[in-house]
Structure 1
Amino acid sequence: MIRPATLDPDLLRAFVLIAEERSFTRAAQLVGRTQSAVSMQVQRLEGVLGQQLFHRGRGGQVELTRHGQFLLDRAREMLALNDDIWRTFHQPSVSGGVCLGVPDDYALRFLPRVLVRFAEVHPDVEVEVVCAPSKELIPKLRAGELDLALVSEGESAAGMDGKPLWSGPLVWIGSDRHAAHRLDPLPLALADPTCCWRRSAIDALEATGRRYRVAYTSSAQTGTLAPVMAGLAITMSPATALPEGVRILGREDGLPPLPDFQVLMITAKEARQPVTDALADYISETFAREAVKTSQAA
């Protein structure tokens, strides 16, 4: 029986970086090494695995082979697990409390993974979560009721420094078993009139002359998804982690494109430290991983 070899994390990091940059030269520049040193790391990894991982093309560009494509996601997962273990044993322990504000749709998609990983490393931290629309979280931040918040770009965050976590298009969402998008006027399930997503949807429809009616209104994304899953209306959402029973609608369904949007992370001026920065780091990492998954799916 052949005993599997142990994969060196440093070799996997070099492989992932080259795959993401599609260039040995750029990867070497990012890590401050020579191109020959990075190439040797890949050769060692290919030697251990017994398969070629990259096709070398003209101009220094590289493409993943079939085996390289198989390895990429798994390498990312292995490195993430390796980093989590290292952080758990080496990251300075913090304690205390932190109050995080987050809209319910972001909470459902991203928060469980953040809280689980954060609690494993910082078990002495008490995280209080306030779920509310972005427009309600901004005043709470200004008043010092929150340490940290995730908000949608454009929701009255003027004068506050926000770190972009996510950037991507909004998409139309409809039932995968019904055809509410074919009705005239088009039935919509939207947030309240002050929501920037709602304004974007209506502007897009009016620009194309598509007739519509606001059939359902909810202050939370979960409230707009319920009538959509029942086939009674359509709504819009980021194209991430959609629930079962819905699908993305597009031009082929007679719907206009929607604009891009950003998710911002804002830290309050008087946020409790260092616990707030520690939680912010975990949130940033989770969104970065989700962005990679979404770009691969596209």
Structure 2
Amino acid sequence: MIQPPLDLDAVRAFVRIAELESFTRAAEAIGTTQAAVSLKLKRLEDRLGCRLFERTPRYVQLSARGAAFLDHARDLLEAHDRALASLTRGRQRIAIGISDHVAGPELPALIARMNAQDPQLVIEIRIGSSGDLLQSFDRRELDTVIVRLHAERDDGELITEEQFGWFAAPSWQHRADEPLPIATMAEPCGVRALAGQLLDAAGMPWTEIFVGGGVTAVAAAVMAGLGVAALSPRMIPFGAVDVGLRLGLPVLPRLPVVLHTRVRDGQPRAALAALSAAFKSAVRG
């Protein structure tokens, strides 16, 4: 008896669940509901005659059969996408700006997920400050930007929020009779401005000890023992410690990550949805 072919939408849902370890995040990446994703997976499991995931209220984990199927599922989707792309004229391109305070060590994996969504999509990435990227977006030099919330704007789509802290090297000690030495990014930088405003409002003397052209440079200055920096835990090398409570520093708020885009449909929009869901996963840990 000839078995019916696999439903490619169901296979795509399976791959997204496996990558994001969540039905909810997979639904966000695909642009559908959690119920629809669950139904697609059930139909795929019925077709294959096995459970692909072990599910509990706390986690979603591939079963042994699911882990064995994952690479084959990816190969199937890539072959399908290549076949479709071979019939289209030219390759689509998307130019994306990502704030330096948003792009973290997970960026290579996030780009890989976008490429897996559409291997024929030409992806251009620019890293910079939120303010500069928004200006480039308004000038139509970028199709999409993923930035920290800018004080002068209320547009854009909220992706997630991320907690910040005051980080220093484990061996660093503050001299109480001296201003707090701060490592920060160069202007314009919204996190830099916020940190200064909070310290000033709390009446805490501070001084710039290091100004870096990117978060990587600032994190390096922190680990070199130069001072304290307001950063996301994702951006800090292993071993850095949050000294905010010990030093009585003002609490940093959760800072939004916001998507601005003119891309509304097609494969580029699907790739953006996958990238947004992956950012949520990275921030939530």
Pairwise same-fold verdict (TM > 0.5): yes
Q: Which residue of 2 aligns with 1:178?
A: 172
SS of the counterpart of 1:216? strand
- Which stretch shifts more, 94-103 or 227-236? 94-103
Displacement of 1:135:
0.8
Q: Which whole-Å CA distance do the structure 2 matches of 1:193 and 1:147 have between them?
A: 24
1:215 correspondence with 2:202: no
**Cα 1:110/1:17, change in 2 over 3 Å:** closer
Quickly say closer, same or farther: Cα 1:236–1:257, change in 2 above 3 A: same
The 3 A distance-change label for structure 1 pair 125 and 90 is same
1:189 Cα shift?
1.1
The answer to whether the Cα contact below 8 Å between 1:181 and 1:187 also exists between their aligned partners in 2 is: no
Matched with 2:156 is 162
- Equivalent residues in 2 for 1:125-204, closer than 5 Å: 125-154=121-150, 156-158=152-154, 161-180=155-174, 184-204=178-198
RMSD: 4.0
**Cα gap change, 1:280 to 1:230, in 2 (>3 Å):** same
Indicate if the aligned counterparts of 2:94 and 2:268 stay in contact, CA closer than 8 A: yes
1:75: Cα distance to partner?
4.8
Shift in alpha-carbon separation, 1:156–1:75, aligned structure 2, 3 A? farther
Q: Is the 8 A contact 1:114 1:286 kept in 2?
A: yes
In structure 2, C-alpha distance between the alignment counterparts of 1:254 and 1:73, rounded to whole Å: 39
Q: Report the counterpart of residue 10 of structure 2 in structure 1.
A: none
Aligned to 2:254: 260
Q: Is the 8 A contact 1:135 1:156 kept in 2?
A: no
> What is the aligned residue count?
240
- Specify which of 119, 124, 127 is matched with residue 123 of structure 1: 119
Equivalent-residue separation in structure 2 for 1:288 and 1:212 (angstroms): 33
CA contact (8 A) 1:170 1:259 kept: yes
C-alpha spacing 1:227/1:183, structure 2 compared with 1 (3 Å): farther
Residue aligning to 2:46: none
Alignment CA distance shift 1:265-1:17 (3 Å): closer
Q: Mark the CA change 1:106 to 1:85 in structure 2 (over 3 Å): closer, same or farther.
A: farther
Please say if 1:235 is aligned against 2:229.
yes
Match of 1:226 in 2: 220
**What amino acid sits opposite 1:224 in the alignment?**
V
**Residues 181 and 208 in structure 2, CA contact (< 8 A), matched pair in contact too:** yes
Q: Which runs of 5+ in 1 are unaligned?
A: 1-8, 21-29, 34-44, 55-62, 65-71, 294-298
CA deviations 1:203-225 (Å, max 9, x no partner) are 22223222211222234222322
Equivalent residues in 2 for 1:1-298, closer than 5 Å: 31=35, 72=59, 74-75=61-62, 88=78, 95-154=91-150, 156-158=152-154, 161-180=155-174, 184-240=178-234, 242-268=236-262, 271=263, 274-293=266-285
Distance 1:200 1:285 in 2: 27
Name the CA shift for 1:174/1:124 in 2 (closer, same or farther; >3 Å): same
Q: Give 5+ residue unaligned stretches, structure 2.
A: 1-12, 26-33, 39-49
CA distances 1:127-179 after superposition (whole Å, capped 9, x unpaired): 11111111111111111111111111025445xx4121221322111112322
TM-score (norm 2): 0.68
Cα deviation, residue 180, structure 1: 4.4
Question: 1:115, CA displacement in angstroms?
Answer: 1.3
% identical equivalent positions: 21
Structure with larger RCO (C-alpha < 8 A, sep 6+): 2
Tell whether the 8 Å contact from 1:178 to 1:231 is kept in structure 2 after alignment: yes
- 1:135 match: secondary structure: helix
Cα offsets for 1:179-234 (capped at 9, x unmatched): 24867210001223442212221222223222211222234222322221110111
Q: Could you tell me how far apart the structure 2 residues matched to 1:170 and 1:278 are?
A: 29
